[in-house]
Amino acid sequence: MNILPSGKEAATPIVAVRSQGTMLESLVGFLDDDEPRCNVPESYLKTLLELSSERFCENEKRIQRFRDELKKVGYGVDAVRDKRKGDNGEWEDPALRRERKRAEGMRKIKLAKKEDIGAPVDTEDISGLEISQEQNT
C-alpha cells in the first residue's frame, strides 16, 4: 500500500475524513404518479442554491485548514516523499532496505563494542560484515 503513486503501484490511501458540519437537506418536491412535483416557490430554490454555494466555499476552507494542519505535524505529501530513498524519490526495494538496515545495525553493535573496550572507533570500518552484492549494484 502507498499513500502516493510510486510509478509501479497505484496510490492506496487508507484514511477517510468526513464532516457533516456543512450538510444541507430540504424537501423541495415529491413524485405524484411517477410525475415530479415541486412544492416550493422558485425563490426558495434560489435561496437554497445560494446557501449551498456558501457551504461549498466553507467546505473548501475546512479542507484547506485540514491539509495545513496535516502538513504542520509532518503528514503532507512532501513529508512522505522525503522518507523515500534515491535521487528520484522512488521507494527502496524491501529486500535491499532490510539488508541495509541490518548492516547499519551491525555497524552500530560493532561501534558500541569498540567503545566498551576503549578501542579507537572508525565509523567507516565495516569489515567483517556480509553485504549482498545486489546492494552494491
* Residue 12 within any structural domain of the chain: no
Domain annotation covers residue 99: yes
pLDDT digits (tens, 9 = 90+) for 40-60: 999 999 999 999 999 889 888
CA atoms within 13 A on the CB side of 30: 3
The number of folded domains in the chain is: 2
Residue 58 has which C-alpha cell?
Answer: 466553507
Same domain, 46 and 71: yes
Global pTM reads 0.40
The closest of 137, 107, 104 to 125, measured between CA atoms, is 107
CA–CA dist 76, 68 (Å, integer): 8
Cell 466555499 sits at which residue? 57
> Does residue 103 share a domain with residue 63?
no
pLDDT in tens, 72-113: 776 655 555 555 555 455 677 788 888 988 999 999 998 888
DSSP one-letter string for the chain? --SS--SSS-----------TT------EEEETTEEEE-S-HHHHHHHHHHHHHHHHHHHHHHHHHHHHHHHTT-SHHHHHHTS-STT-PPPPHHHHHHHHHHHHHHHHHHHHHHHHTPPP-TT--TT----HHHH-
Q: Is residue 87 part of a domain?
A: no
111 assigned to some structural domain: yes
State whether 102 and 73 are in the same domain.
Answer: no
Question: Residue 4 has which C-alpha cell?
Answer: 502516493
Tell me which residue range forms the domain holding 57. Answer: 29-82
Phi first, then psi: give them for residue 32, nearest 5 degrees.
-125, 105
State whether 40 and 62 are in the same domain.
Answer: yes
